[in-house]
Amino acid sequence: MPSEIKIDECELVASLKSGDQQAYSYLYDHYSAALFGTILKIIYQKEKAEDVLQECFIKIYKSIHQYDPSKGRLFTWLMQIARNTAIDTLRSKEFRNDHKNLELSNNVYNQGNAGSPLASGDAIGLDKVLKVLSEDQKKIIDLAYFQGFTQEEISGKLAVPIGTVKSRARSALMQLRKLFKEI
């Protein structure tokens, strides 16, 4: 699926920039599940996560003109928006008043129960991914990539030195790269 998209990514971005409704429909069809999965790593409540997904698409619409394809992949950019929108929501006063028990620091250990992974013929199943990554490696990637924590924060949360965070992150990423290259 992602390789397919990459071919006409520039065209898609141009259509998105021109405000083409069909382009947004296409964008939603191809990326909403991945973005929703990411949002659910931060916001566990499905209803709230849906609101965040909607807000995330509005942000995409509002700032698509700032996206420069030559500077990075579209998906990476979309991910950043989804992650930032979710984190902003989590930290918002309104949300914290509603969910006093759900502190950001607690989220790390509760993930995985949020939703069922999307069954997709193209994407590699989560079970296969989890087989390749160790529990420690997976935690680091989730904290850094899905939840946007800094290495200092991760070091604090996992009670390991920053050097360990760096090396685990690197080995995890190399594992992933190897795994997806095989396909």
* Residues at the interface with other proteins (CB under 8 A): 1-2, 17-21, 24-25, 28-29, 32-34, 36-38, 40-41, 50, 53-54, 57-58, 61-63, 65-66, 71-73, 75-76, 79, 114-118, 120, 122-126, 128-129, 140-141, 144-146, 148, 150-151, 154, 165-167, 169-170, 173-174, 176-177, 179-180
Q: How many CB atoms lie within 10 A of CB 179?
A: 15
Return phi, psi of residue 118, to 5°.
-75, 130
Give least dist CB 57 to other proteins, A.
Answer: 5
How many helices and strands in the chain, by DSSP H and E?
Answer: 11, 0
Give least dist CB 172 to other proteins, A.
Answer: 8
Give least dist CB 177 to other proteins, A.
Answer: 4
Eight-class DSSP state of 65:
G
Eight-class DSSP state of 103:
-
Give least dist CB 92 to other proteins, A.
Answer: 18
Contact by Cβ (8 Å): 144, 136: no
Contact by Cβ (8 Å): 116, 125: no
Return phi, psi of residue 75, to 5°.
-60, -40
Residue 47 vs 94, nearer CB to other proteins = 47
Residue 96 vs 160, nearer CB to other proteins = 160
Give least dist CB 47 to other proteins, A.
Answer: 10
Residue 100 vs 107, nearer CB to other proteins = 107
Candidates 114, 123, 122, 113; CA nearest to 50 is: 114
